Structure 1
Amino acid sequence: MDKTKIVDLIPTTDKCTYTSCYCEENVWKLCEHVKERNPDKLSYCYCVFISNDNKQIPLWYQKSSSALDGVVVWDYHVIFIYNEDDISLVFDLDTKLPFPCDFTEYAAKGIRPNITVKKQYHRKFRVIPGLEFLSTFASDRSHMMDANKHWLSEPPSYPCLQTSDSTNNIHNFISMDPAVGVGVVLNFEGLVEKFSVKPKN
């Protein structure tokens, strides 16, 4: 796929459906957009949940950070990856890096290898095909409420994303237990192996 045509696949940032602190739903909406506009391309789309057992994962170049390097420690984050032939692009509406960003650049600058951070911050990645994410993900947004049922961050204006089987299973997606949920759980090296563009012979 020609990179110049990627704008036909995913809208520009100002036209994307975006709600701060609801990265999983922002990615769901990107998958939905592809399914509705370019369904033949959905098989090249992936949702990637980033977290670990401690629910402490550092990412760099994040817009919400006041640090010079843009570092933030989240409990989890979610990105959209488009991977087809010689193109591998990350779409992250919360990053200061380009939108889209070449996977190699995003991995090196935005994620960075686990060997560069303390073991407690090592990231894992739950990789889910776009179609499977659309058909299985459900959230009642209760994880964004405090003990008094007040919003920690205002939710999207559209209805909760739910399926015929579940009203809330987001914790299975955030979990990095391979025995739980859908998709496949990878370490940093596995993520790079899966999404790096392979040189042509």
Structure 2
Amino acid sequence: MTAVERITPSRENCVYTSCYCEENVWKLCEFVKAERTAPLEQLFVVFVSNDKRMIPLWKQKSGHGNEPVLWDYHVILLQVRPQSESLVYDLDSELSFPCSLRLYGAMAFRSDRHIRPEYHRKLRVIPAESFMLKFASDRSHMKNPDGTWKMPPPPYPALQTAECQMNLDDFISMNPAVGWGTVYSLDQFLHTYTGNPSTTLICSSLS
């Protein structure tokens, strides 16, 4: 990928908390909105999950070699640029930051065609401005039954709205009838934003 004008801080200078990908992306959107480094209309928040909440992703920092990480959901930031390639911002990825969607699709998503249906990915794409206005999380999904944290929370206050304290499940859900944005299959998503769904074969560990 040719050099692109950065719209976020460098990876090491981004606000980041492990296992809080939805909040990491919220903070990326906040930066772009505050600093006006790109039109907010170019940015889309993408939740990746499925009905089983079991989705494989490759090239994740928590992975081992060529094996995928199996997430219940993951969140990335998509920048759709006029007359240019779409870009993915994923702070949990080993790929470049940002990364072209074509490369991310081939290396991180790969393909659903050769894995079991329960692992097929769906993607909910929400305009960044809508996400910032509507998203709310009290972080209760990251607490154990005894109230202790599964993973330490971010140091800043929970992201909530005047109307809602917790609606994360509405964003993770891949039911088009609930929540915000548009839900795509992986092929539909790649076709919509790159014009060429990935046909890359993946390893047989999930077949």
Contact 2:160 2:166 in 1 (8 A): yes
Whole-Å separation in 1 of the counterparts to 2:144 and 2:5 = 39
Within 5 Å, give how 1:163-182 maps onto structure 2: 163-182=161-180
CA deviation after TM superposition for structure 1 residue 5, in Å: 5.0
Unaligned ranges ≥5, structure 2: 197-207
The runs of at least 4 aligned residues of structure 1 exceeding 3 Å deviation read: none
CA deviation after TM superposition for structure 1 residue 40, in Å: 5.5
Query: 2:25 corresponds to which residue?
Result: 27
Task: State which drifts further: 185-194 or 150-159.
Answer: 185-194
From the two aligned structures, give the one with the greater helix fraction: 1
Q: Provide closer, same or farther for how the CA distance between residues 15 and 76 of structure 1 changes in structure 2, counting only shifts above 3 A.
A: same
Query: 2:205 corresponds to which residue?
Result: none
Query: 1:6 corresponds to which residue?
Result: 5
Whole-Å separation in 1 of the counterparts to 2:8 and 2:51 = 32
TM-score by length of 2: 0.90
Q: How many matched pairs? A: 194
Whole-Å separation in 2 of the counterparts to 1:119 and 1:197 = 23
> What are the Cα deviations for residues 101-143 of structure 1, in whole angstroms up to 9, with x where unaligned?
1100101110112113111100100000010100000000000
RMSD: 1.4
Whole-Å separation in 1 of the counterparts to 2:104 and 2:71 = 17
Q: Indicate whether 1:147 and 2:129 are aligned.
A: no
Contact 2:8 2:37 in 1 (8 A): no
Query: 2:100 corresponds to which residue?
Result: 102
Structure 2 SS opposite 1:73: strand
Contact 1:88 1:197 in 2 (8 A): no
Q: Indicate whether 1:130 and 2:125 are aligned.
A: no
> What are the Cα deviations for residues 50-91 of structure 1, in whole angstroms up to 9, with x where unaligned?
0000010000011011x2115100000000011111131001
Percent identical among aligned pairs is 45
CA deviation after TM superposition for structure 1 residue 194, in Å: 2.0
Query: 1:82 corresponds to which residue?
Result: 79
